[in-house]
Amino acid sequence: MIDPNRIEAILEKVQKAPRYTGGEMNTTVKAWDSVPLHYGFCFPDTYEVGMSHLGMKILYGLVNQEDWAVCERFFMPWTDMMELMRENEIPLFSMESRRALCEFDMIGFTLQYEMSYTNILAMMDLGGVHLMARERTREEPIVVAGGPCAFNPEPLADFIDAYMIGDGEESTLEVCRTILQWKQSGADRMACLKALAGIEGVYVPALYDVTYHEDGTIASFSPNCPEAPATIRKRVVVNLNDTYYPREIPVPYTEIVHDRIMLEIMRGCTRGCRFCQAGMLYRPIRERSIARLLELAGSLEKATGYEDISLSSLSSGDYTCLAELIRELFKRFKEEHVSISLPSLRIDSVLKESLEETQQERKTSLTFAPEAGTQRLRDVINKGVTEEDLIEKVTDAFEGGWSSVKLYFMIGLPTETEADLDGMVDLASKVIRCYFEVPRDKRAKGLRVTVSASSFVPKPFTPFQWEPQDTQEMLREKQAYLKERLRKVKGVNFNYHESGTSLMEACFARGDRRLGAVLLRAYARGCMLDGWTEQFRFDEWVQAFADCGLDIGFYAFRRRDRNEILPWDMIDAGVTKAFLWREYEKSQCAEVTPDCRKGCHGCGIQRWKGVCHYAGVGRV
């Protein structure tokens, strides 16, 4: 354990000390020597971001309920803390026991965002763990990773020992037990890696070899030992009612991004938006029952004292009994004045009754995601909503007392034209008109309409995984065009993402394992905390690619051939490559694929044992 006095001395000098103090309500502290396995859960971003992550709360409670293991948390320090830690030779330490990262038997990173990859290197470096997996000794932690970005594991293949692909509630404990058995066996590190490869859903990069054609595309990918399966099939938790969910969660002393109870009401999505990686990765759709959700909500409210419950899912409006659930939650928490928030609302969801229920407590802004400005482009991306849907739902919201609306769009989508950009401006104008068409006595004061335009990034396991990204010049021209057009629309605030960040995200989203050298070089050049605008150093990233002799355009701006071996082809994510290609071809002629609830389209997820189909929907 690190001397507490040394830590306290530097905490007096940093901007936000609560990021590092620990001791929050509902955290778990176990005597170090009382458990044989020590697991360090690492979130590769700052405390306020990591503490908002539901997956961390689930796995933290899951591991800590076992009497043979302890899970402690690590977060990425801010620049001021990193500087002081290095000056005072203090390693990255856990929030609970303040032990160094290198003291743990295993450490697990959640991969939520490609621009956090250098943070992973920084955390291991600060924690005294060798960055390169091949250089780690038997005494060092086994480094695992999971999360959505793990579905293309190759850019981090040099640094991660094993990946857990898919739902983690079952595989996490299996991996923990395997590492504990290895630790007690005295066998070498390779024995552990081969044992991990035998767990369904686990990918071990060191057990596979890759070769390349002269043009840089992949020539072959194959296992180099009998223990490694040719295909790694993702893990799926079939029944959410029966799977673990925390009844209490750590409550921070400082403000975090999502400072509320997050109640996961369902997992998966049936809509099939062609740009959406999550919608493909998290199939099939699985719902928790109202009874189970009420039970969990009661326990979490009692354990935390939070006054806001967020009904979490990819598309909360698609939950089968949403209105009934909200009514029951308000009835249950009427005296506590707990508010209910509805993120991830689809424009065509049945919302009016739900909005009428949620207006009983505090109102926040409502977010809608048309994604594209014209119906043609919405059909290309299979969004499945119309302008009439938007106008109807926004009107319901304004009549229900809301005055703040956020509209999310993407620019750079395949087949996009100037007319599609004009459509975004027209939609924003019509939303404002809706507000003033509501009688004065029904509408709230203070209209706020925010238009956000993110840059399209092609992602693995989507129908657009073969598509190029727009160049920076193209994206900047579109941003400038929208900025000028929306400036003339009174009452609209326009936000957009920097094109440099989106470019790097595109490179690593679909990159191969050669990008490990770029990550290492970028980290050496000081690239860290790249998800924060003030810390992103685009020129250094460009130089890192140049130093490694790799072409940014090869990864971001190149259209992939249908028969090309993709870096993630060893992963079976449920949806088949054939299905994704069919959807890609349909996108080129703006042909819509209906919601899976209206009939099965043969995406491939029906191959999973225990996943049956009811009205065309994967359910339990």
Instruction: Give the three-state DSSP class for 401.
Output: coil
Give the pLDDT score at 497: 87
Indicate the helix (H) or strand (E) that contains 613.
Answer: strand 612-614
Look up tokens 């860290």; give the residue: 528
The CATH number of the structural domain formed by 261-514+550-606 is 3.80.30.20
Q: What string of DSSP letters covers 126-185? A: HTT--SSGGG--TTSPEEEEESGGGGS-GGGTTT-SEEE-B-HHHHHHHHHHHHHHHHHH
Q: For the chain, where do the domains classified as CATH 3.80.30.20 start and end?
A: 261-514+550-606
Spell out, as residue ranges, where the chain has pLDDT lower than 70.
Answer: 344-364, 612-620
Beta bridge partners of 614: 617
> What does the pLDDT read at residue 410?
97
Q: At what angle do helices 418-437 and 387-399 cross, to 10 degrees?
A: 30
User: Are 269 and 315 in contact, with CB atoms under 8 Å apart?
Assistant: yes
Quickly count: other Cβ atoms within 10 Å of residue 264's Cβ. 18
pLDDT in tens, 471-525: 999 999 999 999 999 999 998 999 998 899 999 999 999 999 999 999 999 999 9
Does the domain at 4-233 match CATH 3.40.50.920? Answer given as: no
Burial of 302 (0-12, 13-18, 19+ CB in 10 A): exposed
SS3 letters for 284-318?
A: CCEECCHHHHHHHHHHHHHHHCCCEEEEECCCHHH
Global model pTM greater than 0.75 = yes
The predicted structure's pLDDT at residue 208? 98
Q: Compute, in degrees rounded to 10, the torsion defined by CA atoms 236, 297, 248, 361.
A: 120
Which two three-digit tokens encode residue 413? 């989508």
- Tens of pLDDT, residue by residue over 550-563, are 999 999 999 999 99
What is the total residue count of the chain?
A: 620
DSSP letter at 515 equals H
Whether the CA torsion 91, 94, 95, 98 is positive or negative: it is negative
- The pLDDT of residue 619 is 39
- Looking at the chain, the domain(s) classified CATH 3.40.50.280 span 4-233
CA distance 125 to 112: 20
